[in-house]
Copies of this chain bind each other. A is one copy, B any other.
Amino acid sequence: MMGAMVDAPFAPQVLGHLLIRAAERSREAFASAVDSRGLTPTQARTLFALEQPRAMRDLATEMSCDASNITGIADRLARQGLVERVTGEDRRVKLLTLTAEGRKLRRQLQRTVTRSTFPVDTLTEQEQRELERLLRKLLGE
A residues sitting closer than 8 Å to B (CB atoms) are 1-8, 10-28, 30, 45, 48-49, 51-52, 62, 64, 107, 110, 113-115, 117-123, 125, 127-132, 134-140
Contact = CB atoms under 8 A, between A and B. Distances in A.
10 contacts: A5-B114, A15-B118, A16-B115, A18-B131, A18-B132, A18-B139, A19-B26, A20-B113, A123-B138, A131-B135
Given A5-B110, A134-B127, A137-B127, A20 B30 contact: yes
Contact of A27 (B12, B16, B23, B134): B23
A136 B130 CA distance: 14
B64 A117 contact: no
